Structure 1
C-alpha cells in the first residue's frame, strides 16, 4: 500500500520536479551547520567563537523566516527565491575564505538573514498541486521524512569533505535549488490593490494557525531536550558511543512513522489527529525514561524508536492544519511560522533541559521534557481560519485517484 500510494503522489503532474529540485537545495541546510562549526573552529581555535557563529546564524535565520516567507507570498517565489539564494550562496562562499574572527561572526549572521525558505515554498506549491487530489497529507509526510534524512546525511557528507569545502558545497546546493525551484513556479498573476494589501509581509502570525504553531514549538522543545538527555544517558553509563545508535533509533522510527502515516487513508479530522499524535509522542517519551530506568540503554533505544514513530506524523499534521486554515496568499508564511516555531522550540528545549539534567536523574527529566507537549496537545482546541480564506473543509481521507490528468 505504501509504495503504490507514494508512486501515485509522485505521478501527479508537477510534483516530482519541484520535490527533486527542492531536495537538492534543502540538503544545504543539512550540511551547513557542521561545515560552519568546522570552519570557525579551524580558523579561530575557539569553541566560544563556534558557539557565537552558530547562535548568530540560527537567530537571524529563525527570526527573519516569516519576513522572507511574507516577501515570497507578496512578490512570488519566482522573483524572490533567486535573490535570496544568490545572496545566501555568496555569503557562504565568503565564509569559506575569510579568516578574521569578527568577519566570520558577521558573515554567519548575514547568512541567516538571506537563508531561502525552500521547504515552505515546496509545501505551498504542493498545496496548489495536490489539494484537489486529497493527497496533501501524504506529501507532507514524505516531506517530513525527507527532511529528517537530510539532517542525518548532510553532516556525514561534511565529515568526509571538511569545513570550507562543506561551505562551498552548501553554497552550490542552495543556489541550484533556489534557482531551479524558482524556475518551476508559475509567474504570478497581476494582483489588485486589495490582494496586494492582503499579501503584505511582516512579522505577524498568520490568523488561524495558532494551534499548529504551538504544537510545533512544543514538539521542538521536546526533541531539543531529548537530544541532550540522550547525551546524558549515554555518558552516565560510560557508553558515549551508544549515542549514535540512540539518535539513529529516533530517526529510523520517525522515517517509518512518517511513511506509514502518509500511506493511510485517514477518516479522523486533521485537528483531532494532531492532538492524538502529539499526545502519543509525549506519552511515549515519558515511557522511554521509565525504560531507561528499568532496562538501560537497550530498552531506551526501543522506547526512543517507538517515540520516533510519532515525530514525522506530528510535524506533517501541523503543516497540513496550518495550510488548511490559511488563505492561499499566505501559505508560504504559514508554513514558515510552523517551521520557525519548531526550531525555536528546539533551541529553548535544549537550553531548559541543561539545568534539569544537572539536578535531576535523567529518567525523571524525560517526563519533564514531555510535559509541555502533552499540555499543549490536550489543551481544548479552537477552530481558526485566516481572514479572507475561503472555507476549506478537512478531508476525511486520502483517496487514491485512478488517473491524474494534466
Structure 2
C-alpha cells in the first residue's frame, strides 16, 4: 500500500518556493495563445471580407510560429530566459499590435497582412517549453515532476477553452482587434512576471553548465534518437485529436444533429483529457515513462476507432471522452521523456520539439481528414484517425546519456544541499531543493 510520502499531492507541487508565482505568470502569458487565433481570424475576415485571405494569413502566422519554435527555444537554452525570452515576447507583442493596426485599416494589401503575420509568428515566445524546463529545475523528485507536468498540461487545456470564450465576450461589445491587442498585453505582462521570478533564474544557459563538460544538444550523439519516440507520438496524437473536430461535424451532419451536439462531443474530449491528465499525475507509476507512452498512444487510437462505430450521440460522447482520457497522459509522458533524454541546459528546445510535433500534427490532421471525409465512409475515417496514434505506439524508445547526466547532476546537487552552508554563501537567497 502506498504511503502518503510516496504519493505527493498536487498541492505539494505548488508549495515549492516560487512555484505558484512562476506558474501563474506563465499561464497569463500562455492565455495569449488561447485568445490570439480567434481574435486574429475575426479581425482578418472583417478587414478583408475574404475567408480565403484570412485563412492564408492565419496559415502563414501559424507556420512561422510552429516551425521556428525549436530555434526560438534554442535561444532560450543558449542565453537564458531573461536575455532571450523577454525581448522575444516584447517584440511579439509589438508585432501583434502592428497586426491589429493594419487589420483595423480596411483596404490593407494582402502582402502587408501576410508579412506582418509571418513576423509576429516568428517571434512567438516558447513559454510552455520554458515553464516545463523550470518545473524540471524546481522539482528533482520524478514523482513531483510528473504531477507538475500533468497540472501544467491540464491548465493549458483550460486556457485554450477559456481563451475563445474571452474573445467571444470582447467581440460582443468591441472590435475583434481589441482581442488581438489583449493578446499582446497578456504575453508581455505574463512573460515579464515570469522571467523576473527567482525560479526562472535557476535556468542557467547551456554554455554555463560547468563541472560536467560540454553537453550535447538534442541533435547530439544519441539524444536525437532518444527524442524520436516522444516526438513521433506527440505528432500522431496531434493528428488524431485534430481529426476529431471535423469527424464530429460530419457525424452530426449525417444524422441531422445541430451544432450543439458537436459542442457537447468536443467538450467531452476536453473533459476526458483533463480528467486523464490529473489521474495520470496522481498515480505512483512503477513502470518507466518509455514503457507507458505506447500504452497511452494505443489508448487514443483504439478509442477513436471505436468512436466510428457509435450508433448515436450518447455513445459517441462516451467513446470520445474515453479517447480524451489518454490524450493528456500521452502528451505529458512525451514531455517527461523529452526532458530526461537531454542534458539540463537543453530542456527548452527538447520540449519545443514536442510542441512543434503536436502543432504540426494537428495542422496535418485537419488537412488530411478533410480529404478523407469526402472519399471514405465515416467509420473508416475514424479508424484511420485512430490508426495514426496506434501506429505511433510501435515506435521504439531509445535511451540516451541525458537521463544519466541529469540523475548524476541531481545526486550531486542533493549532496551539496545536505552539506552545511559555507560562510561566503550566507548572504545569498536560498534556492528551492538546494539548487544554486
**What CA deviation, in whole Å up to 9, does each residue of 1:66-100 have, x standing for no partner?**
00000100000111111011100001111111131
Distance 2:215 2:362 in 1: 31
Partners in 1 of 2:234 and 2:402 — Cα distance? 22
1:396 is matched with none
SS in 1 for 2:286: coil
Residue 153, structure 1, aligned to residue 157, structure 2: no
Q: C-alpha separation between the residues in 2 aligned to 1:385 and 1:18?
A: 30
Which position in structure 2 is the counterpart of 1:367?
Answer: 383
Seen in structure 2, the aligned counterparts of structure 1 residues 309 and 353 have a Cα distance that, compared at 3 Å, is: same
> Aligned runs of 1:113-192 on 2, under 5 Å?
113-132=122-141, 134-162=143-171, 163-184=176-197, 185-186=200-201, 188=204, 191=208
Match of 1:31 among 12, 35, 50: 35
| Contact 1:27-1:154 at 8 Å conserved across structures | yes
Structure 1 residue runs of 4+, over 4 Å off? 192-206, 386-389
User: Contact 2:304–2:383 at 8 Å: present in 1 too?
Assistant: yes
Question: In the aligned structure 1, how far is the partner of 2:212 from the partner of 2:75?
Answer: 14
Aligned partner of 2:116 in structure 1 is 107
- In the aligned structure 2, how far is the partner of 1:119 from the partner of 1:197? 26
Deviations 1:139-183 (A, max 9, x none): 111111111111111001101112201001100000011111111
Give 5+ residue unaligned stretches, structure 1.
Answer: 394-403
Q: Which residue of the other structure, out of 77, 81, 88, is the alignment partner of 2:85? A: 81
Which residue pairs with 1:261 in the alignment?
A: 280
Give me the TM-score of the superposition, normalised by structure 1. 0.90
Instruction: Indicate the residue corresponding to 1:227 in structure 2.
Output: 245
Equivalent residue, structure 2, for 1:399: none
Q: Partners in 1 of 2:275 and 2:357 — Cα distance?
A: 24
SS of 1:214 mapped into structure 2: helix
> Aligned pairs, how many?
392
Note the alpha carbon deviations across 1:355-376, whole angstroms, 9 max, x for none: 1100111122111111121111
Q: Which residue of the other structure, out of 21, 26, 51, is the alignment partner of 1:17?
A: 21
Q: 1:376 aligns with which of 358, 377, 392?
A: 392
1:214 corresponds to? 232
Superposition pairs of residues 243-254 of structure 1, within 5 angstroms: 243-254=262-273
The alpha-carbon deviation at position 321 of structure 1 amounts to: 0.8
> How far apart, in 2, do the equivalents of 1:76 and 1:388 lie?
21
What is the CA RMSD across the aligned residues, in angstroms?
A: 2.6
Label 1:322 to 1:305 Cα distance change in 2 as closer, same or farther (>3 A): same
Shift of the 388–277 alpha-carbon distance from structure 1 to 2, 3 Å rule, reads: closer
Listed as ranges, the gaps of 5+ residues in structure 2 are 409-431
1:326, 1:389 within 8 Å by CA — same for their partners in 2?
A: no
CA distance in 2: counterparts of 1:362 and 1:57, whole angstroms: 31
Greater gyration radius: 2
Q: Which secondary structure state, in structure 2, belongs to the residue aligned with residue 383 of structure 1? A: coil
CA shift in 2, pair 1:201/1:174, >3 Å:
farther
